[in-house]
Amino acid sequence: MKTIQRFPYFPVQFNKAGQVFQPAEVQALEKHLATAGTTDLLVISHGWNNDSAEAESLYEAFLTNADLAIGKDAPPGLGSRRFAVLGVLWPSKKFADKELIPSGAAGIAGTVPSSDLIEKLESLVGAFDAADEVARIERLKRLVPKLEDSASACREFAEEARKLVSGTAHPAADAEDGADSFRSMDAADLFERMSQPVSFVSTTPSQDEGGAAGIGIGINEGGAAGLMDFVSGALSGARNVLNFTTYYQMKERAGKVGVGGLNPLLRGLQGRRPALRLHLVGHSFGGRLVVATASAGGIQVSSLSLLQAAFSHYGLSPDWNGKRHSGAFRPVFAGKVVVGPVVVTCTPNDKAVGVAYPMASLLAGQTASGLGDENSPYGGIGRNGAQKTPEAVPIAMHPAGQAYAFENGQLYNLRADPFVKDHSDVTNPNVVFAVLSAIAAGA
């Protein structure tokens, strides 16, 4: 058994199909729970990481700060808890923040080089579930030199890229983030829309980052920071198509692991130990994974913490479009799965979530200002918090050591601008203290 500070730690690997890869890892956790008097199981999932070393580095940093907080200024009630940690390890393709910016980060200064596009395609080998993934990526690479001069090559590129994702449609989740359009749109139209320039205008800059904060880019260059036009073009459009394709594959896989793998595992653990409190913590696409785990039901979750989570800000809404269409993860509340508090860290400082979702607006032909904010039809929960969700309470994240008044059954949009500087800044003491506070308050 591995221990990280005071926490007995049990990694559990899942494969692309969402199934447990090494049953012996679950057996080791079962054996510990049967003999150690564990009261609380902390289940933590990484997001955009491509190997177990990166994921476990995230877990170690988080748990080290949790250990320090419990030993120093922990929320009341944690001292008597006996914890164990289940570290979820799942195959997810790593994104660089710059690759999620419409038209690419290079677009601020110039066009996307074809060599960069070839390199990106080569890096994506192994990221997709399609059986013929390698052959399709080779076909995409052969199309790159033709994109700027051939409309038929652009159309074929979009068609081939979409076929890399072999998952099935999910109407509720797909409508929230533009996946329905991505799947069904004519390939030529798809490529053309993904090649359009986008302007992001900040209307509510933060005090410390000027105009750039409202667009989530994190650049401060005086008056120009509030308005940036990204170049258009075939090569930029191809990269946007690839980013969308990879996003939807990771979305599909996170759901498979959460619903088909982690949920039944936790049902079994809690079914044999009804008093065991479950606390789910997810970063980025790991936030999608753990909320999918909870929304599948059959478990009782004492707290749910979504750290810069990568899913729609309408994902928990009972009626996100005025047509009584609920978000994909509304069962978390409708089914009373989470009996304690839900905390959501959110900030425009998160470029990855803050800008990835507005890209969906290109599919709808929208290139207006303010894309991706809380009023946008396409926005990420890690940027804006949960929107159109009656249980949501907006509050500022507190510095570590300052008490929260979390209540069971409520969701707290923790505005984290001073404490979360980018998408991966989720292991610092302030974030960890907020998660511990939710754990302490959990029923």
CA 239, chain centre distance (Å)? 20
pLDDT on residue 365: 61
The larger pLDDT score, comparing residue 334 to residue 362, is at 334
* Integer angstrom CA distances of residue 187 from 163, 191, 232, 269, 328: 11, 6, 18, 46, 26
The larger pLDDT score, comparing residue 428 to residue 205, is at 428
346 within 8 A of 381, measured Cβ to Cβ: yes
The larger pLDDT score, comparing residue 96 to residue 180, is at 180
pLDDT on residue 366: 57
Residues in contact with 279: Cβ distance below 8 Å, sequence separation at least 6, in sequence order: 40, 41, 42, 43, 301, 302, 303, 304, 305, 438, 439, 442
Is a pLDDT exceeding 50 seen at residue 2? yes
Is a pLDDT exceeding 60 seen at residue 26? yes
Is a pLDDT exceeding 50 seen at residue 286? yes
Same domain, 433 and 289: yes
pLDDT on residue 200: 44
Band of pLDDT at residue 198, cut at 50, 70 and 90: low
Taking only the tens place, the pLDDT of each residue in 126-143 is: 888 889 999 999 999 999
Is a pLDDT exceeding 80 seen at residue 303? yes
Same domain, 59 and 141: no
Taking only the tens place, the pLDDT of each residue in 56-67 is: 999 999 999 999
Is a pLDDT exceeding 80 seen at residue 430? yes
Is a pLDDT exceeding 90 seen at residue 321? no
Among residues 175, 310, 298, which one has the least CA distance to residue 255? 310
* Integer angstrom CA distances of residue 347 from 123, 180, 243, 367: 29, 27, 22, 22
pLDDT on residue 49: 58
Give how many domains the chain has, as a whole number: 2
pLDDT on residue 96: 44
Euclidean distance between CA atoms 194 and 236, whole angstroms:
8
Kindly report which listed range (71-85, 236-250, 362-376, 389-403) carries the lowest average pLDDT score.
362-376
* Integer angstrom CA distances of residue 175 from 68, 160, 183, 366: 42, 22, 11, 15
Calculate mean pLDDT across residues 206-217: 30
pLDDT on residue 175: 73
Report the chain's terminal Cα–Cα distance, integer Å: 28
Calculate mean pLDDT across residues 27-49: 94
Same domain, 301 and 429: yes
Band of pLDDT at residue 85, cut at 50, 70 and 90: very high
Number of Cβ within a 10 Å radius of residue 269: 20
Same domain, 85 and 164: no
Same domain, 424 and 294: yes
Is a pLDDT exceeding 90 seen at residue 184? no
Calculate mean pLDDT across residues 285-298: 97
Residues in contact with 257: Cβ distance below 8 Å, sequence separation at least 6, in sequence order: 14, 18, 88, 90, 289
**Residue % of the chain over a pLDDT of 70:** 81
* Location of structure tokens 């580095």: 57
Same domain, 239 and 272: no
Number of Cβ within a 10 Å radius of residue 441: 21
Band of pLDDT at residue 53, cut at 50, 70 and 90: confident
Same domain, 104 and 164: yes
Mean pLDDT of the chain: 84
pLDDT on residue 179: 77
308 within 8 A of 284, measured Cβ to Cβ: yes
Structure tokens at 209: 């980052």
The larger pLDDT score, comparing residue 50 to residue 233, is at 233
Same domain, 262 and 198: no
The larger pLDDT score, comparing residue 41 to residue 169, is at 41
DSSP letter at 163? Answer: T
Q: Which helix (H) or strand (E) holds 11?
A: strand 7-13
Same domain, 197 and 106: yes
Band of pLDDT at residue 172, cut at 50, 70 and 90: low
Same domain, 123 and 163: yes
Of 222, 250, 278, at which residue does a domain stop? 250
Same domain, 175 and 266: no
Of 198, 217, 250, at which residue does a domain stop? 250
315 within 8 A of 391, measured Cβ to Cβ: no
Is a pLDDT exceeding 50 seen at residue 168? yes
Is a pLDDT exceeding 90 seen at residue 84? yes
Of 208, 224, 250, at which residue does a domain stop? 250
Band of pLDDT at residue 379, cut at 50, 70 and 90: confident
Euclidean distance between CA atoms 342 and 412, whole angstroms:
6
Provide the residue range defining the domain that includes 185: 97-250
Taking only the tens place, the pLDDT of each residue in 414-423 is: 999 999 999 9
